[in-house]
Every structure is written in structure tokens, then in C-alpha cells.
Structure 1
């Protein structure tokens, strides 16, 4: 991942049918595990010590999706946590749609 042309970290994806996961490592070596459940659309971000930094609960309506996001850290920037949440949510949604459309054909 980069911001203003400078690398801010590396994002790796590990997709399994039980628990899709992403791992983000920032330029300082801090590692974050981003995970969603198979059927749930909520996302949890944890650090190396398994401390929960961000947790979301998502509700789906006809027109839009509503997210309730709780950030539990003063150590890392809230904007970074929200960026990781948004990237993970969008990626997991694309993967779900891809899996459901390939199963329908």
C-alpha cells in the first residue's frame, strides 16, 4: 500500500473457506491480522499480541450497508484502522460475490 507515492505497508491475503484473512505489515514492522467470518460481514483487526484494535458489525438494508465500527487503540492512527477496514470489507465482498456467481453458473 502506498500514500503520496510512499510505501506505507504490505497487504497479503490468505483466503480459506473457513476464515478469510488479510495481513497488513506497516513500514515499522507492526503486523495486523484482518479477519471476517464465513457468513458474517463483520471485520476484526488484531495486532501481534492478539489485542482487538477494531471491530465492526454490519447490517444490510435494501439500498445501503450500515457499519458500526469500534476502534480500541490509541497506539495506531484511527485513519489507518478505517483504511484497513474499508480495504478488507471491499475485498471480502468482491470475493463473496465472485464465489456466489461462480456457484450459480
Structure 2
């Protein structure tokens, strides 16, 4: 009986993790807001609000592992290096810094 309960619990946990795995559009919105928050220049904020999403979408690579995803965005062209984040439970956790690497 304990083994059956453990299997049911495991199935429920996997289902919850897979259903809360955030998508690419959510990540693009999140990274756009994060970079706008880090920007101190009004011109940069304006450019990011107008053209940020397509730029981030083009520079982002997603690795989907069913229960979580890893996103890597390349900011090398603007001197910020690469940003790597994990998406789980509809949240994003930066694995590398937004600062210059």
C-alpha cells in the first residue's frame, strides 16, 4: 500500500511540474521586463519596450525537459554576455547574472 501511495504522489508531482512549466512567451516577457528594470537610460527603456521582445526571441535558446525548461539568452552583441535561467512553477530563476560576464 505504501508503494502505491508513493507512485500516486510521484505521478501527481510530475503532473504539477509539467503543467506549470512556463513557455517561451512567458520567458520573453520576463527577460524584457528584467532588462528594462536594469536599464537606467530612458532611451534604452523606450527601445526595449518597442523592439525588446523580437530581439530577445531571436537570441534565446530553450531546452525543454518536460518538468522544467532552461533558457539561454545571448546578450554578447550588447556587451552583457549570456543569461541562463531555469523555468519552473511559472517562475524563472536566473542561473547566471545579468551583469557583464
TM-score, L = length of structure 1? 0.33
| More strand per residue | 1
| Higher RCO, 1 vs 2 (CA within 8 Å, ≥6 residues apart) | 2
TM-score, L = length of structure 2? 0.34
Larger Rg: 2
